[in-house]
Amino acid sequence: MARPFKQGIDYFPFDVELLSDRKLRRPKNKYGYLASVIYLALLCLIYKDKGYYLDYSEDVREDIQLDVLEFLQGKFQPTTETVGEVIEDLVACGLFSRDLFSKNIISSHRLQCTYYKATADRKAVNIDWNKWLLKETEMRELCSRHIILNNFINRPKNEVNPPNKTVNQSNNTQSKLNKSKQKESKESKPAAAAYFDNTELNQLFLEYLDIRKVIKAANTERAVTLLLNKLKPYDDAVKKEAIEAAIMGSWKSVYPESIVKNSKGKKAKTSGEVQISDDRKKIYEELDEQDEAWIWAEENRE
């Protein structure tokens, strides 16, 4: 009798920096230990089942949330609603693919790399290319003799991301690929440079805009302009701290004037934490509501 086909994996490497990932900061700040445990629970469920993704469609969503709750059994077990909110925040902060999540799929580039390496010796692996995030060049670097890579190259041309005609690309093909990358780069630059010249600061602001979407704050042109005007008078260091504080607090607005500085203009602490008092946080939460009402009024003004 043939050996039963195995899709998932029995174990996965636990990177020592897995739970110190900067992307996990905001969910941990909001939900505490729940964010870390739910993140690990999802990885276990993904690797155990399909290996590289988890179906999170509406008909199985509650079952997934209940499966996650089994990792959190105890006196202070959260509700399925809380689990769902944490999962959405894990996606919003970039730990899982936002594009796939919009299609009710939970996966990430990082976990697919892990799965690819873990299945390098297998003779057969089933992959749905609509859910696959790794590019051919990435797979070649990880393992050039993988069955997944072979199937990727020889998959039907009418599928997503049609394969190259040959395994070894010609100079002409490589030239076209380079031009395509340059075109993508040029197309993406305006969006990335639209707010700040500082790449790191701009990326942080884009992350904050994603957070605003999660908390149901509209990122209209007027709303974004008002946010940028609040940050404009300050230097990049203050802007960065203000945006990080807004991300960690899930605020609808930014408050650069609140950043506490010592007499020399340096951070009061070197740990990277933004210095904002609890009283100030309560005030800013109230200001969030006022700012949102003001933005709404500005948007509807003739």
The per-residue pLDDT for 187 is 47
Q: What is the pLDDT of residues 107-145, one digit of tens each?
A: 999 999 999 999 999 989 999 999 999 999 999 999 999
Whether 189 has a pLDDT exceeding 90, the answer reads no
Whole-number Cα distances in Å, 147 to 27, 81, 151, 158, 197: 36, 40, 6, 20, 43
3-state secondary structure of 55: strand
What percent of the chain has a predicted confidence (pLDDT) above 70? 72
Is the C-alpha dihedral spanning 69, 72, 77, 79 positive or negative?
A: negative
* DSSP β-bridge partners for residue 105: 55
Per this entry, what is the length of the chain? 302
Whether 42 has a pLDDT exceeding 90, the answer reads yes
For 69, the token pair is 């709750």
- CA-CA distance, 274 to 260, in Å (whole number)? 8
| pLDDT tier for residue 199 given thresholds of 50, 70 and 90 | confident
Average pLDDT, the chain: 78
Whether 86 has a pLDDT exceeding 50, the answer reads yes
| pLDDT tier for residue 170 given thresholds of 50, 70 and 90 | very low
Q: Pick the closest to residue 187 from 179, 177, 197, 195 (CA basis).
A: 179
Helix ranges (H only) for 49-198 are 58-69, 80-92, 98-101, 109-118, 136-142, 147-153, 171-193
Is the full-model pTM beyond 0.85?
A: no
The per-residue pLDDT for 196 is 85
The per-residue pLDDT for 286 is 57
Q: Pick the closest to residue 139 from 161, 106, 170 (CA basis).
A: 161
Q: Pick the closest to residue 88 from 217, 190, 1, 215 (CA basis).
A: 215
Whole-number Cα distances in Å, 239 to 30, 96, 147, 196, 204: 21, 26, 47, 10, 10
Which tops the pLDDT comparison, 239 or 214?
239
Which tops the pLDDT comparison, 295 or 211?
211
Average pLDDT over residues 177-184: 57
The per-residue pLDDT for 117 is 93
| pLDDT tier for residue 178 given thresholds of 50, 70 and 90 | low
Torsion of CA 267, 268, 272, 277, to 10 degrees: -110
Tell me whether residue 47 is exposed, middle or buried, using C-beta atoms within 10 angstroms of its C-beta: 0 to 12, 13 to 18, 19 or more.
buried
